[in-house]
């Protein structure tokens, strides 16, 4: 019996391997993964927004604005540096520097100290001195805003002419054309109106920063007018609480940790779903070809229908596992080629799935899921005479399988383990996907064992009933399988 | 000992009685014709012998035991509805079926090449079935049924769709299999092939056996007809069922169309005429053809000369 199953499986594999669609599909994922970061980089708008401030009140407001945005940029850099240092334990680079501290919201004093210490260039130099092999280099984010000197054709305009000149600048195709123009009037602060012209919808972060800065400037001036010295006014304006920040180290935060731990399990569930849909459709094509080419009777004279069905399932499973092995190999090559970068990301992600018991569970649920769903495809293939007829059965089956899985994956990404997740875990049709996806969140051993037993029983029942349907349908060409006839075939022991 | 022995076989599909109390046997080296119109139960019977479907009642003893796929190695089968994997080459297809019948890959390959050479297809051995003509593909399919040198060769309507050249090739293969001792069963509704090839025949009608025996025995089922020119009236001769005058009445020598009673041999009537001094100037015997027998026993539907 086994010989025949292996022969059928081998033929199925060879047939699928000769399909162009197989090779295209096999290559799509690695190519997409390789192109993803490249396209991501290309699509990522890392250019800072260009800002022009026309300050006709003497230049103090423009200077305050530039200083504020420079502070914000440096604060962001300090924060990134601090996360980087904390993740890789590089505090020894400069133990006294603010960017090796992880417990505060950076104040103006911290920013000043950072600048005095040589800024980002000096920080990177120090980090490089202690950075071990395998730890990626620190790459600072691009600054959000770049301030430009006002173009003369704009600065010379007044009123409507200014708005007109601003529009012309926005419409020009020059690479360094401004995207935001701020006009501070001649009578500022007596006349506190500020003009904001933007090429597109102005970013709310910019407007907030603009308002904060100019409000602070206005208040400082008003305090000075009311008799306070400039220093006192500035001190009042700069007064702020020292916020101590306690956050988990990178990768350890509950939400972040959950996401990292769920990457591999979710990917497994997704890959199971994807490879099943693909190899399932190939198996279906093979079954339909056997029926439409009328070669079933020749086959059934040599082998039992069950051997044919198991051979097809084994062939489909082998192709699916082959695809996954190739994809895993590509991921391994990518991890090796990029050295520590991906490996560093993958290590915590692999943590929840690296225990031997969990590896066994993954293999079990993966293979069981494959058999469970593939058997449905093979049975559909045995009932229909053409691919168009197969579509009629395929669509409801695919929807029934895929829709709940989509909800399931979203729920798990959101860290939820509510009723839907529990139900899907215990319904055998979705058990493999639910269990694989939940491995990252942690799943109780009794649930793992219970669902595993239930799944095995469901597969055994499925193979018995779909086996009957397969056997009874094989030679029934040209018969439209009505519901009554389907039930008869499910019940038929042997014709 | 018979290679195939079928006893009181019955097969029902719901309310439809497809095979009704059928019994027959086929010996080694025998070519056995399975004749019947469409829906007579030929294919159903062959499928039961192959264990593709199970009988409702009755027994089948094939190659000394009950039908079982483990006997596939000794059976060759060519179904009525033919088809192969379009993406596989001719030789790979033969090897695949050979291996499903338990042969080693090398044996199946060498035997497959031998058959393809005999069928003038050796140069197309590596061509995909999808690239071949229908006739070529049918020869490849025939090769898949012969690759294992079967002891029992079952061919379901093997001549349908074949051109005259390939029909001749198939007839040769049937005779060759019979000569090496294989029992050959083929179903057909083309009487010419059955007349030429079969040692014994079985006629089926609506699942029930109407006749089993040799061609001569089949012919004996229908009364012989004669054309005679005699000097006396043959209607009085014992064994003559009836006689019609051909043409106008003559004074002395009259031509008659004579039909004998069933089972009466024309020689006995001739003997009677000689013994009783009935003058004869012409004596033409016309035996019933298999077509006539088929039409008489089975009905005219689905029969080809």
What is the rounded distance in angstroms from the CA atom of residue B36 to the CA atom of residue B188? 7
CB B196 within 8 A of CB B15: no
b (16+ CB within 10 A) / e for A399-438: eebeebbeebbebbeeeeeeeebeebbeebbbbbbbbbbb
CA distance B172 to chain A (A): 22
What is the rounded distance in angstroms from the CA atom of residue A462 to the CA atom of residue B6? 36
DSSP sequence for A228-297: --HHHHHHHHH-----B---PPTTTSHHHHHHHHHHHHHHHHHHHHHHHHHHHHHHHHHHHHHHHTT-HH
Q: Which of A3, A4, A300 sits opposite B52 (nearest CB)?
A: A300
CB proximity A304 to B under 8 Å? yes
B84 and A293: CB-CB below 8 Å? yes
Of residues B208, B206, B23, B212, the one with CA closest to residue B198: B212
CB proximity A21 to B under 8 Å? no
What is the rounded distance in angstroms from the CA atom of residue B80 to the CA atom of residue A296? 11
B50 and A300: CB-CB below 8 Å? yes
Q: Which chain A residue shows the shortest CA-CA distance from B105?
A: A7
CB proximity A494 to B under 8 Å? yes
B75 and A301: CB-CB below 8 Å? yes
Chain A partners within 8 Å of B84 (Cβ): 293, 295, 298
Domain ranges of chain B: 4-219, 225-287
A298 and B97: CB-CB below 8 Å? yes
Chain B partners within 8 Å of A293 (Cβ): 83-86
Chain B partners within 8 Å of A7 (Cβ): 96, 99-100
Chain B partners within 8 Å of A292 (Cβ): 83
Helix or strand (DSSP H, E) at A145: strand A145-148
* A181 DSSP 8-state letter: E
CA distance A409 to chain B (A): 39
Q: Which residues contact B93 (CB under 8 A, 6 or more apart)?
A: B84, B85, B129, B140, B144
Q: Which chain B residue shows the shortest CA-CA distance from A294?
A: B83
Of residues A262, A374, A387, A376, the one with CA closest to residue A320: A374
Burial of A375 by CB count in 10 Å (0-12 exposed, 13-18 middle, 19+ buried)? buried
> In degrees rounded to 5, what are phi and psi of residue B156?
-100, 110
A298 and B50: CB-CB below 8 Å? no
pLDDT of A339: 57
Chain B partners within 8 Å of A291 (Cβ): none
B97 and A4: CB-CB below 8 Å? no
Size of interface A-B (CB pairs under 8 A): 72
A495 and B54: CB-CB below 8 Å? yes
Residue of A301, A303, A304, A485 to mutate, interface with B, max B Cβ within 10 Å: A301
CA distance A313 to chain B (A): 17
Helix or strand (DSSP H, E) at A143: none
CA distance B243 to chain A (A): 52
CB proximity A478 to B under 8 Å? no
B82 and A294: CB-CB below 8 Å? yes
Q: Which of B69, B82, B88 sits opposite A302 (nearest CB)?
A: B69
CB proximity A289 to B under 8 Å? yes
- Regions of chain A where pLDDT drops below 50: none
A18 and B87: CB-CB below 8 Å? yes
Q: Quick one: CA dihedral A276, A282, A284, A287, positive or negative?
A: negative
Helix or strand (DSSP H, E) at A16: helix A2-17
> In degrees rounded to 5, what are phi and psi of residue A461?
-65, -45
pLDDT digits (tens, 9 = 90+) for A262-276: 777 788 888 888 888
Residue of B100, B141, B154, B158 to mutate, interface with A, max A Cβ within 10 Å: B100
- Give the residue carrying structure tokens 């001769």: B237
* A203 DSSP 8-state letter: P
Q: What radius of gyration, in Å, describes the C-alpha atoms of chain A?
A: 33
CB proximity A80 to B under 8 Å? no
A11 and B77: CB-CB below 8 Å? no
Query: How many Å from the N-terminal Cα to the C-terminal Cα in chain A?
Result: 21
pLDDT of A192: 80
Interface of B with A (CB under 8 A): 13, 47, 50, 52-54, 69, 72, 75, 77-88, 96-97, 99-102, 141, 144-145
- Regions of chain B where pLDDT drops below 50: 302, 305
B81 and A301: CB-CB below 8 Å? no
Chain B partners within 8 Å of A289 (Cβ): 85-86
Domain ranges of chain A: 2-37+252-491, 48-238
CA distance A84 to chain B (A): 57
What is the rounded distance in angstroms from the CA atom of residue A305 to the CA atom of residue B52? 9
CB B145 within 8 A of CB B182: no
pLDDT digits (tens, 9 = 90+) for B284-304: 988 777 788 888 777 755 455
pLDDT of A97: 85
Residue of A297, A315, A482 to mutate, interface with B, max B Cβ within 10 Å: A297
pLDDT of B90: 94
- Provide CATH code, domain B4-219: 3.40.50.300
How large is the ipTM? Answer: 0.81
Chain B partners within 8 Å of A18 (Cβ): 87
């Amino acid at each position: 019996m086994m010989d025949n199953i292996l022969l059928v499986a081998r033929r199925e594999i060879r047939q699928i391997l000769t399909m162009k669609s197989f090779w295209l599909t096999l290559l799509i994922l690695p190519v997409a993964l390789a192109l993803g970061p490249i396209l991501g980089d290309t699509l990522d708008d890392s250019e800072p927004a260009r800002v022009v401030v026309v300050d006709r009140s003497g230049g103090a407001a423009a200077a305050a604005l530039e200083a504020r945005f420079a502070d914000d940029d440096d604060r962001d850099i300090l924060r990134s540096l601090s996360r980087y240092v904390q993740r890789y334990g590089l505090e020894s680079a400069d133990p006294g520097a603010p960017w090796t501290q992880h417990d505060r919201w950076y104040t103006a004093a911290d920013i000043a100290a950072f600048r005095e210490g040589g800024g980002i260039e000096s920080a990177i130099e120090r980090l490089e001195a202690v950075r071990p092999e395998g730890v990626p280099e620190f790459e600072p984010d691009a600054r959000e805003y770049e301030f430009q000197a006002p173009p003369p054709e704009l600065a010379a305009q007044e009123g409507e002419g200014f708005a007109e000149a601003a529009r012309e600048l926005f419409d020009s195709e020059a690479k360094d054309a401004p995207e935001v123009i701020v006009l501070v009037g001649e009578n500022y602060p007596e006349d506190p109106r500020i003009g904001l012209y933007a090429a597109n919808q102005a970013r709310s972060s910019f407007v907030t920063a603009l308002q904060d800065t100019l409000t602070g400037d206005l208040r400082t001036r008003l305090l000075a007018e009311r008799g306070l010295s400039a220093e006192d006014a500035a001190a009042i304006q700069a007064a702020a609480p020292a916020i101590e920040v306690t956050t988990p180290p990178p990768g350890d935060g509950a939400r972040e940790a959950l996401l990292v731990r769920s990457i591999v399990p979710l990917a497994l569930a997704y890959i199971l779903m994807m490879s099943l849909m693909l190899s399932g459709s190939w198996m279906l094509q093979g079954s339909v070809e056997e029926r439409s080419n009328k070669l079933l009777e020749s086959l059934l004279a040599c082998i039992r229908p069950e051997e044919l069905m198991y051979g097809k399932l084994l062939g489909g499973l082998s192709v699916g596992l082959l695809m996954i092995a190739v994809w895993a190999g590509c991921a391994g090559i990518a991890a090796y080629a990029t050295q520590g970068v991906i490996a560093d990301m993958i290590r915590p992600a692999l943590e929840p799935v690296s225990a031997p018991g969990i590896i066994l569970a993954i293999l079990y649920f993966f293979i069981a899921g494959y058999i469970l769903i593939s058997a449905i495809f093979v049975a559909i293939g045995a009932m229909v005479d053409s691919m168009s007829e197969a579509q009629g059965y395929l669509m409801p089956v695919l929807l029934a399988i895929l829709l709940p899985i989509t909800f399931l994956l979203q729920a798990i990404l959101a860290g939820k383990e509510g009723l839907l997740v529990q139900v899907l875990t215990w319904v055998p049709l979705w058990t493999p996907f639910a269990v694989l996806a939940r491995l990252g969140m942690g799943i109780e051993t009794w649930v793992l064992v219970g669902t595993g037993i239930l799944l095995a029983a469901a597969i055994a029942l499925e193979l018995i009933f779909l086996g009957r349907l397969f056997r009874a349908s094989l030679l029934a060409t040209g018969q439209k399988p009505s519901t009554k006839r389907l039930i008869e075939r499910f019940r038929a022991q042997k014709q | 000992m018979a290679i195939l022995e079928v006893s009181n076989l019955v097969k029902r599909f719901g309310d439809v009685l497809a095979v009704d109390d059928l019994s027959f046997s086929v010996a080694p080296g025998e070519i056995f014709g399975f004749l019947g119109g469409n829906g007579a139960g030929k294919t159903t019977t062959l499928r039961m012998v192959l264990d593709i479907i199970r009988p409702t009642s009755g027994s089948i003893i094939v190659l000394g035991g009950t039908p079982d796929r483990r006997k596939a190695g000794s059976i060759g089968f060519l179904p009525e509805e033919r088809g192969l994997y379009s993406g596989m080459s001719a030789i790979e297809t033969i090897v695949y079926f050979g291996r499903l019948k338990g042969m080693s890959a090398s044996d199946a390959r060498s035997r497959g090449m031998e058959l393809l050479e005999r069928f003038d297809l050796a140069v197309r051995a590596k061509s995909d079935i999808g690239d071949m003509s229908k006739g070529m593909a049918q020869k490849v399919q025939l090769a898949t049924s012969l690759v294992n040198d079967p002891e029992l060769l079952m061919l379901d309507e093997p001549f349908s769709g074949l051109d005259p050249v390939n029909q001749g090739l198939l007839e040769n293969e049937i005779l060759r299999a019979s000569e090496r001792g294989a029992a050959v069963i083929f179903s057909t509704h083309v009487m010419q092939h059955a007349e030429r090839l079969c040692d014994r025949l079985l006629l089926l009608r609506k699942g029930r056996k109407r006749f089993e025996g040799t061609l001569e025995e089949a012919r004996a089922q229908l009364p012989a007809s004669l054309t005679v020119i005699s000097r006396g009236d043959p209607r009085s001769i014992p064994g003559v069922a009836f006689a019609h005058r051909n043409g106008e009445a003559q004074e002395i020598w009259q031509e008659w169309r004579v039909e004998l009673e069933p089972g009466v041999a024309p020689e006995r009537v001739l003997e009677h005429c000689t013994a009783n001094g009935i003058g004869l100037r012409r004596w033409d015997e016309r035996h019933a053809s298999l077509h006539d027998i088929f039409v008489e026993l089975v009905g005219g539907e689905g029969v080809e000369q």
